[in-house]
Structure 1
Amino acid sequence: MQQRAINVILTGVTGTALAGMMVAGVAAASDDSAPKKQFLPQQAVAAQEQKSPERLADKGAMGGFTVPKAPAKAEAKADAKAAPKKTAKPVKKGPKALLSGKTKASYFWDDGSGVNGDTGAPAGGKPMQKGLFASPSWPMHTKVKVTYKGRSVTGFVGDRGPGEPSHRGVMLDLDTYTFRYLLDGKKPSSKYNAGTGEGHLNGVKWEVLSWGSGAGKKGKPQPFGS
């Protein structure tokens, strides 16, 4: 009887101890597994970051060294060098006319030979030459451009003339070379004769580009001696 009571007591104590040990083991097991549950997601995140090139590019690091980025300025300079350059050539413009108009023109060549009523050397002091014109009134050495049928010659006033024809509207006397060139683009048969039956050119356009410093009158041409 006494022995049975002791056994019952021992059985209760042993059961209680075993139950306590089981509870402690479960608690210990729960504590040991908690860090693992927290650590595994962090490893997964780190592994994902190492596998993702986008994340590495954002952070600017790979294997301990910095991934360089091409500077925007360098790319812009490279594009500028590759692009073809366009160069615009400046348009050359002649001097602006101070005065312009149209007239009937004749021709002459005065060099003191007496040919064709030659009156001697030109009054402007320069020898007779291609591009030397005679005006009844403009200042000597006035720069003049003459145009006819699309052909042009730029010369200067170096003599007086024509005489009486200027009263009939002939306000320019051109050297034979200029006269023939304006007529048909050719050269005269001789410097004293234009080599054509034409003695006048009607509708020659004249443009005063600059006034000369010699004797004469600026403005529209006036008849000889007026």
Structure 2
Amino acid sequence: MQQRAINVILTGVTGTALAGMLVAGVAAASDDSAPSENPNLSQEAVATGQHKASEKHSDRSDAKSDSKGDSASDSKRAKKDRNVLLSGKTTASYFWDDGSGVNGDTGAPAGGKPMQKGLFASPSWPMHTKVKVTYKGRSITGFVGDRGPGRPSHNGVMLDLDTYTFRYLLDGGKPKSKYNAGGGEGHLKGVKWEVLDWGPGAGKKGAPRPFGS
């Protein structure tokens, strides 16, 4: 009888202990199965967020850079356009008037400055007008220092270039002499002219007009 009582007590105690262990095991299992933050996933998410932020910043920087580049380009283009007051194309001849009488030389240039490289003759533009001439990619900037050509201007020859400018535009070379450009050409067709600044001397602004008109 006494032994049975002891067995019953032991059985109760053992059962309670086992029950406690089962409860603890269930709780532990419950904790293990609960969702938790994955450290690797968190780092990946942070990295991805930083990458996206970096991309957005880069896009904004590129946009700003492009905007600045476009603005600078537009500014240069606008400035260049403002410097050109008038432009067109014509056929050009050449001359060198220094009072020698060679090739029909009529005397010193009418503009008051001695004959020189970069001195052009126009039938109508104001004296000392600044002009840029371009032909086949070569350019020279000079000024109107004389009147001419005369009769040819009525046939569309609206510029007389000094010998050195004429030969340079033709082929990049130098004239045979002051009075002879050489190269086998007496006229250059399709010379582009650009008026950069109207001179203060006598003459008429605007499109070139034939001599005496």
User: TM-score category by the smaller chain?
Assistant: 0.5 to 0.7
- Deviations along 1:40-89, one digit per CA (max 9) or x if unpaired, are 4556778x69xxxx86727x9xxxxxxxx87937x949xx7xxxxx9989
Match of 1:211 in 2: 198
Letter in 2 for 1:102: K
**Alpha-carbon offset, residue 115 of structure 1:** 3.5
**Alpha-carbon offset, residue 149 of structure 1:** 4.4
TM-score, normalization: structure 1?
0.63
Equivalenced residues, count = 190
Normalized per residue, which structure has more helix?
A: 2
Match of 2:39 in 1: 57
* Higher Rg: 1
TM-score, normalization: structure 2?
0.66
Match of 2:98 in 1: 111
Matched, 1:95 2:80: yes
SS in 2 for 1:145: strand
- Deviations along 1:72-111, one digit per CA (max 9) or x if unpaired, are 37x949xx7xxxxx99898775833443333332211123
Letter in 2 for 1:207: E
Task: Return closer, same or farther for 1:56/1:208 CA change in 2, 3 Å cut-off.
Answer: closer
Mapped partners of 2:25, 2:91: distance in 1: 109
Letter in 2 for 1:37: L
- Deviations along 1:184-218, one digit per CA (max 9) or x if unpaired, are 33211111221355333344333334433332211
Mapped partners of 2:18, 2:161: distance in 1: 119
Contact 1:139 1:211 in 2 (8 A): yes
Match of 2:168 in 1: 181
Where does structure 1 lack aligned partners over 5 or more consecutive residues? Answer: 1-13, 61-68, 81-85
Structure 2 matches for 1:65-104, cutoff 5 A?
Answer: 72=50, 76=54, 95-96=80-81, 97-104=84-91
Q: CA RMSD in A?
A: 4.0
Match of 2:62 in 1: none
Task: Return closer, same or farther for 1:223/1:23 CA change in 2, 3 Å cut-off.
Answer: same
Contact 1:140 1:159 in 2 (8 A): yes
Letter in 1 for 2:16: D
